[in-house]
Amino acid sequence: MNTDIQSILNKLGVKESNAAFSTGSNWGGESNQEILKSFSPVDGKLIAIAKVAAVADYEDIIAKAQSAFKEWRVIPAPKRGEIVRQFGDALRENKDALGTLVSYEMGKSLQEGLGEVQEMIDICDFAVGLSRQLYGLTMHSERPSHRMYEQWHPLGIVGIISAFNFPVAVWSWNAALALICGNVCIWKPSEKTPLTAVACQHIISKVFKANDVAEGVCNLIIGDKAVGELMTNDGRIPLISATGSTRMGKAVGAAVGARLGKSLLELGGNNAIIISEHADLDMSLIGAVFGAVGTAGQRCTSTRRLIIHESVYDAFKEKLIKAYDQLRIGDPLDQNNHVGPLIDTDAVAAYLDSIQKCKAEGGKFVVEGSVLTGEHYSSGCYVKPCIAEVKNDFKIVQHETFAPILYLIKYKTLDEAIALQNGVPQGLSSAIMTLNLREAEQFLSAKGSDCGIANVNIGTSGAEIGGAFGGEKETGGGRESGSDAWRAYMRRQTNTINYSNTLPLAQGIKFDL
């Protein structure tokens, strides 16, 4: 193993390498000999082997979580917030190490890895304040000497299934809010990025131990699809929060819905930026290029389509081509590079397949894509970001490919551009680049973007903690992070108190004995 990565693992408390993690019911498996290997897409090296949890391990975790919930739910919310605050401080202390590990295991740039840990810190800060603001409403009763109000209670166990592209941040979005709401958590990370999850568990476990918190409040279980299916079909887990593909989300939603559970789904995106004739083209270029190639196009908010006004189409296309010529592709830990690798060779195969399908449908590539080879690309996961001129109704354009493939589409009127933007099955993030106030307001109006996120003069990629994150249509409809997303992790209860000496019925119903 790379000695620098080994020292980082040691700093994070993960001292075993190239061997099974003997971590028991907290995150791995004791009774199962099946293993899961984590390879870095940066250099192709094996960085960890973890045991996969078996059914017996899963049942042990459920039992501990159920027991811990009984204690955790009665701790005052501000006290729970204080513990989450300490977790945020622990993340500050470990930001460089954890951010580097995220970059090495997942393949995103070091700046993005550090930014992901900053997101974790930010959601902890948000949750601390929220722990004193879990407000309900009071209502006037139609009956005299009665008081009505509502309050919110924790659900119980929150199951979190996260994806490889944000291996730690999305877990923290869910966990920080779920914890201050009084829930306990079971986290199944992507089987492609288990090591960063183990590191997070080490960090938060130390915080819980320092506060004498019962074992089982925050749990990690490593496994494949089978473990996820155990969770989604388990009536003891009232809420499943799942991040991943639309295909996965449909399966999760069906399974949880069949048992009348709750699901919070964050699924695929097919995000577009409209480049208006009134846009600042230089500013638009930055948003478009980062949106398309950041994280090697592996964000659910990555920019897949540019819908460009015909009057600036050729000029902006030339700017894009020149910008792509300047992209540096390589080791994401080298901060001189703009683009790192795809997560694995399966992702590379999907990238190549999408390019061929695009060409077969008539797409014209103005920047060709390819797989990079040579000493610096030994993992086989590095590809060249590419650009194609297409029509919006191409089947491949309607499909989300998790890779740096950018599609260019020309438009004449804003109504046409909005129709093109909305004309895909997904509905996560969207943006318009314009200095025209009327265009901006139309894009944000009810007849504008149909996405959960709609931006003006910033790109589709990236979101701040304070706003609710999520999308519509095949993106799943879930909302995480800011605003009132906390309500998804709680159950609402309406209370009526009669402080009179009679018992009047609602709606004036008479029932005399």
DSSP 200-244: HHHHHHHHHHHTTPPTTSEEE----HHHHHHHHT-TT--EEEEES
Active site residue 416: no
Query: Residue 50: helix, strand or coil by DSSP?
Result: strand
In this structure, what DSSP letter does residue 343 have?
Answer: S
Q: How far apart are CA 484 and CA 464, in angstroms?
A: 14
| Residue 203 to residue 197: CA distance in whole angstroms | 10
The distance from CA 88 to its chain's CA centroid, rounded to whole angstroms, is 18
**Strand segments (E) across 217-332:** 218-220, 239-243, 262-266, 271-275, 303-309
Q: Assess contact for 173 and 198: CB atoms under 8 A.
A: no
Calpha distance 413→297 (Å, rounded): 28
Measured on CA atoms in the order 366, 371, 372, 376, is the torsion positive or negative? positive
Categorise residue 362: left if φ over 0, alpha if ψ from -120 to 50, beta otherwise.
left
374: left (phi over 0), alpha (psi -120 to 50) or beta: left
The bridge status of strand 146-154 relative to strand 138-140 is antiparallel
Contacts of residue 341, Cβ cutoff 8 Å, sequence gap at least 6: 41, 42, 107, 296, 332, 377, 379, 381, 382, 383
CA 387, chain centre distance (Å):
26
Q: Which residue do the tokens 């490889």 mark?
A: 164
266, 439, 474, 480: the catalytic one is 266
Bridge partner residues of 208 (DSSP) = none
Where helices occur in 385-445 by DSSP H, the ranges are 395-398, 414-422, 437-444
Q: How far is it, in rounded angstroms, from Cα 34 to Cα 96?
A: 32
Distances (CA, A) of 356 to 245, 304, 359, 368, 405: 22, 16, 5, 11, 12
Rounded distance between C-alpha atoms, residue 207 and residue 198, angstroms:
15
Residues 6+ apart with CB under 8 A from 293: 327, 338, 339, 385, 404
Q: End-to-end alpha-carbon separation of the chain, Å?
A: 82
Burial profile 83-93: b = 16 or more Cβ within 10 angstroms, e = fewer: bbbbbbebbee
Would you please indicate which residues are annotated as catalytic (active-site) residues? 266
